[in-house]
A and B are shown apart, each in its own frame.
Chain A
Amino acid sequence: MADQKQEQPMQAATSIDAIDKRNLDWFLDKGVQVLIFIGGISAIIFVLGIFVFITKEGFDFVLSRFDLAEFFTSPNWRPTSSANPTYGALALIVGTASVTGTAMIVAIPFSLGAAIYIGEFATGKTREALKILVELLAAIPSVVWGFIGLSIMNALIIDLFNVPIGLNIFNAGVILGLMAAPIMTTIAEDALKAVPDEYRAAAEAMGATRWQVIRKVVLPAAKNGLVAAVLLGVGRGFGETMAVLMATGHSVQIPDSIFDSVRALTATIAAELGETAVGSDHYGALFTLGIFLFIVTFLINLTADLVVRGIKKK
Chain B
Amino acid sequence: MVEPAVNTPGAQAASGNGRNVVEIKNLSISYSGQTALEGVNLTVREGEIFGIIGPAGSGKTSFLKAINRMDLFSTAMEVKGGIRFLGRDVKDWRNVYALRSRVGVVFPLPVGLPLSVYDNVALAPRLRGVKKKADLDIIVERCLQRAALWDEVKDRLDSLGSLLSGGQQQRLTIARSLSQDPDLLMLDEFSIAVDPVTTMRIEDVLKELRKEITIILVTNLVQQARRLADRTAFFLNGECVEIGETEALFTGTVKDQRTLDYIEGRFG
Contact = CB atoms under 8 A, between A and B. Distances in A.
B7 interface: yes
Interface in A1-44: 1-3, 5-6, 12-13, 15-16, 18-23, 25-26, 29
Interface of B: 7-12, 14, 17, 19, 86-88, 93-95, 97-99, 102, 127
Contacts of B97: 25-26, 29
Interface of A: 1-3, 5-6, 12-13, 15-16, 18-23, 25-26, 29
Nearest to A29: B97
A23 B97 CA distance: 10
A23 B88 contact: no
Q: Is chain A's binding surface mostly helix, strand, loop or mixed?
A: helix
3 closest A-B pairs by CB: A2-B14, A15-B10, A15-B9
Given A16-B87, A16-B88, A22 B95 contact: yes
Contact of A20 (B11, B17, B19, B94): B94
Given A5-B14, A12-B19, A20 B7 contact: no
Contact of B95 (A1, A3, A6, A26): A26
B10 A18 contact: yes
B16 to A, nearest CB: 9
A3 B76 CA distance: 43
A25 B9 CA distance: 20
Nearest to A5: B14
Contacts, number: 48
Contacts of A21: 94-95, 98
B98 A20 contact: yes
B86 A5 contact: no
Most chain B beta carbons < 10 A, residue from A5, A16, A22, A26: A16
B123 to A, nearest CB: 14
A58 B265 CA distance: 78
A20 B103 CA distance: 13
A15 B17 CA distance: 16
B102 A5 contact: no
A3 B14 CA distance: 8
Given A5-B14, A12-B19, A23 B95 contact: yes
B9 A19 contact: yes
Contacts of B87: 12-13, 16
Contact of A19 (B10, B14, B17): B10
A1 B93 contact: no
Contacts of B10: 12, 15-16, 18-19
A16 B14 contact: no
Nearest to B1: A23
A20 B88 contact: yes
23 contacts: A1-B11, A2-B12, A3-B14, A5-B17, A6-B14, A12-B10, A12-B87, A15-B9, A16-B86, A16-B88, A19-B8, A19-B9, A19-B10, A20-B88, A20-B93, A20-B95, A20-B98, A21-B95, A23-B95, A23-B98, A25-B97, A26-B95, A26-B97
Contacts of B9: 1, 15, 18-19
B94 A19 contact: no
A12 B98 contact: no
A132 to B, nearest CB: 27
A4 B87 CA distance: 18
Contacts of B98: 19-21, 23
B1 to A, nearest CB: 8
Nearest to A14: B9
Contact of A22 (B7, B17, B94, B102): B94
B46 to A, nearest CB: 10
Contacts of A22: 94-95
A23 B86 CA distance: 19
A165 to B, nearest CB: 60
A26 B98 CA distance: 9
Contacts of A15: 9-10
A3 B7 CA distance: 13
Contacts of A16: 10, 86-88
A268 B228 CA distance: 80
Contacts of B19: 12
Contacts of B12: 1-2
Contacts of B17: 5-6
A25 B10 CA distance: 21
Most chain A beta carbons < 10 A, residue from B8, B9, B95, B99: B9
Contacts of A3: 14
Nearest to B127: A25
A81 to B, nearest CB: 60
A274 to B, nearest CB: 50
Given A1-B11, A21-B95, A25-B127, 12 more contacts: A1-B9, A12-B86, A15-B10, A18-B9, A19-B8, A19-B86, A21-B94, A21-B98, A23-B95, A23-B98, A25-B97, A26-B97
B125 to A, nearest CB: 14
Contacts of A6: 14, 17
A5 B87 CA distance: 14
A3 B99 CA distance: 23
A6 B17 CA distance: 7
A30 B91 CA distance: 18
A282 B7 CA distance: 77
Contacts of A19: 8-10, 86, 98, 102
